[in-house]
Chains A and B, each alone.
Chain A
């Protein structure tokens, strides 16, 4: 037991900064995922069959592509091709784009969860299409997507660990644990604290989502 505490007190700053890198990676990637995901969701509900198909292809491709392959393409691949990509750009772009396909699906199902009758009622009351979307559909859609988006953030926290230990030398939580392990050879201790870190992060997000849910969510 003492070994565990010693390792924690001896490497606290390294582990904490690793956790902070993980948080920033997830936050930036989530921003990208929401932006791109909203665009793709808009394509998928657009009134043109071609745009819908385009959005569908985007979702199918990025949902079925392993994140690690995406990282190899955006980092090693583009660099070898002469595009100077930094680890942060490649890491957050990959994780963001990877998750955006899921975000698009979640948002689309959120929009479809609002019944047609409401849209028709709103249009017949004289709301424009834009106003209907903004004042009737989106507020309700937002409330149904809280919980699936929360699940996606948790999945992103877990997926972010792939970035650091693969080819991008980003010192995130898992990478820090790996570095501490290779310096001290205390495998169990180093990885135990990394596990605690990840569980703390996912538990925090779960708790936050639960609060948001109890305040806003509609159960269908």
Chain B
């Protein structure tokens, strides 16, 4: 305990630019999370629709794809892609990545990290979206087609606006999981907060004192807890609002338990 709170062990935080350096690393994590989430949402929606289509082979293939990528460890995907992606792909990424992106995201390895995060999270999000769509009353789709809407129209104007609204809270919780998972890209040597933490605790540091490992990672952990706590508050508020908006009718919202989707049974 005395080791933990000894002011000498916290001196690193106010020495040199250690504090700034850690925060810069954390910002890279947030950026990776946002980029991966955007792609995962788009790709996840495609997968969910493919899974729900009436074209059997497409639905079965999409189902198998989702089940495989949802059940593989994310760290497995990232590591495999980092080792197995052909070099031309990585070079192509380095060519197209916008130059205003931070330096940490310019490396070709980031492609492996982003691909891994998107493959995994799109599979999870596809399940969340599918559960949201399936939780709608069948009558909604039937009424839409009785009104003469095409399948695409009924999706766009009737099914998706309602189904996707139900998955907003679950999507925010998935963003929390994704935010935590961005630390995994440090394993393939992308310069984010874990790497910055290791640099600060290492011998080749700039700032004067070598920082103790325990305190540095407690501080990094606190950054995550704070950010994710705010996100989970947001998720809860959205859930409450959704319930108020649809008061009177029992609407199942789609809830995720550590990426495993639990939707209420479809009646």
Q: Mark A residues whose CB is within 8 Å of B.
A: 60-61, 63-70, 72-73, 76-82, 99, 102, 105-106, 147-148, 151-152, 154-155, 157-162, 165-166, 174, 178, 181, 187-188, 191, 194-195, 198-199, 202-203, 219
Contact = CB atoms under 8 A, between A and B. Distances in A.
9 contacts: A64-B224, A64-B232, A69-B183, A72-B197, A73-B221, A76-B213, A147-B262, A162-B184, A181-B83
A203 B72 CA distance: 11
A73 B217 contact: yes
Interface in B62-80: 68, 71-76, 79-80
Given A72-B217, A80-B214, A161-B76, 16 more contacts: A64-B228, A65-B180, A66-B181, A69-B220, A72-B194, A72-B213, A77-B213, A80-B201, A80-B212, A81-B213, A99-B258, A102-B257, A154-B71, A165-B75, A174-B79, A187-B84
A195 B76 contact: yes
Contacts of A159: 73
A170 B144 CA distance: 56
A33 to B, nearest CB: 11
B213 A80 contact: yes
Contacts of B220: 69
Contacts of A79: 213
Nearest to B262: A148
Given A64-B232, A162-B73, A198-B73, A154 B260 contact: yes
Interface in B212-253: 212-218, 220-221, 224-225, 227-229, 232
Nearest to A79: B213
Contacts of B183: 66, 68-69
Prevailing SS type, chain B contact patch: helix
Given A69-B194, A72-B194, A174-B79, A152 B258 contact: yes
Contacts of B260: 148, 151-152, 154-155
B209 to A, nearest CB: 14
Contact of B176 (A64, A68, A178): A64
A60 B231 CA distance: 11
Contacts of A161: 73, 75-76
A82 to B, nearest CB: 8
Nearest to B81: A191
Contacts of B215: 77
